[in-house]
């Protein structure tokens, strides 16, 4: 399968899945975004590395990096390799003694290591098709005031499919990826009948 390279474009507090966070991965050569909900400690591990902070004692992911480097194991890349029942799966692709070794990992841990090792992040087309959202910004800024700013208490069930597509474009333009994921899920539910 062809790999698609991603980069971390945002890390934000989750308004719908508190106390969780959302890490948003962006397609390097495209407009698709992949929002992934993660826990607070996992978000902190990613943020510490992104901000290049140096804690007085090594955090778990720093320890993992130190261990890999001590035993001359190179983290070459991470791959978000599967999506089952709303859960993302990842693999660490390492080079040890001239041999490629794949290690199963939680996606949040893989991302925390990718930031520390400055290695590429990849996924596959089927994952972006299933969970990605497309960033479109074709609407003039003066019309944005008419958008839905908050999720109704009843969710999105009372909107038509056409209205949902418009809301999706609106929240993507505002870079509200978490809300975009909710709208995308409602659209997919209706289109697939599941």
Which residues 6+ apart lie within 8 Å of 74 measured at CB? Answer: 68, 94, 95, 96
H or E element, residue 168: helix 161-173
Find tokens 């890999």 and name the residue: 68
- ∠ Cα 23 79 3 (to 5°): 110
Q: Mark out the alpha helices in the chain (DSSP H runs).
A: 40-50, 60-70, 107-117, 125-131, 161-173, 177-192
Say if residues 36 and 22 touch (Cβ distance below 8 Å).
yes
What pLDDT score was predicted for residue 138?
38
Q: How far apart are CA 190 and CA 23, in angstroms?
A: 26
What pLDDT score was predicted for residue 12?
82
Q: How far apart are CA 173 and CA 166, in angstroms?
A: 11
What pLDDT score was predicted for residue 15?
60
- Residues 27-65 have pLDDT tens digits of 998 889 999 999 989 999 999 899 888 888 889 999 999
- Residues 127-141 have pLDDT tens digits of 999 999 987 653 433
What pLDDT score was predicted for residue 134?
87
What pLDDT score was predicted for residue 19?
75
Domains along the chain?
A: 3-131 (3.10.690.10), 138-192 (no CATH)
Mean pLDDT of the chain: 84
Say if residues 20 and 14 touch (Cβ distance below 8 Å).
yes
What pLDDT score was predicted for residue 140?
39
Q: How far apart are CA 151 and CA 104, in angstroms?
A: 36
Is the entire prediction scored with pTM above 0.75?
no
What pLDDT score was predicted for residue 76?
98
Low-confidence residues in the chain, pLDDT < 50: 138-154
What pLDDT score was predicted for residue 153?
39
Say if residues 19 and 141 touch (Cβ distance below 8 Å).
no
């Amino acid at each position: 399968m062809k790999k698609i390279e991603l980069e971390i474009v945002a890390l934000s507090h989750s308004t719908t899945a508190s106390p969780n966070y959302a890490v948003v991965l962006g397609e390097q050569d495209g407009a698709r975004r992949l929002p992934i909900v993660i826990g607070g400690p996992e978000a902190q591990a990613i943020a510490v590395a992104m901000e290049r902070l140096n804690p007085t004692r090594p955090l778990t992911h720093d320890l993992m990096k130190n261990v890999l480097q001590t035993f001359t194991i190179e983290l070459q890349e991470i791959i978000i390799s599967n999506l089952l029942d709303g859960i993302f799966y990842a693999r660490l692709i390492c080079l040890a003694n001239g041999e490629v070794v794949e290690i199963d990992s939680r996606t949040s841990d893989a991302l925390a290591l990718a930031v520390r090792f400055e290695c590429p992040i990849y996924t596959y087309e089927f994952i972006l098709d299933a969970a990605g959202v497309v960033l479109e910004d074709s609407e003039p800024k003066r019309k944005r005031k008419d958008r839905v700013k908050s999720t109704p208490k009843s969710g999105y069930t009372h909107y038509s499919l056409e209205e949902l597509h418009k809301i999706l474009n609106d929240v993507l333009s505002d870079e509200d990826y978490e809300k975009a994921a909710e709208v995308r899920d409602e659209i997919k539910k209706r289109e697939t009948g599941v």
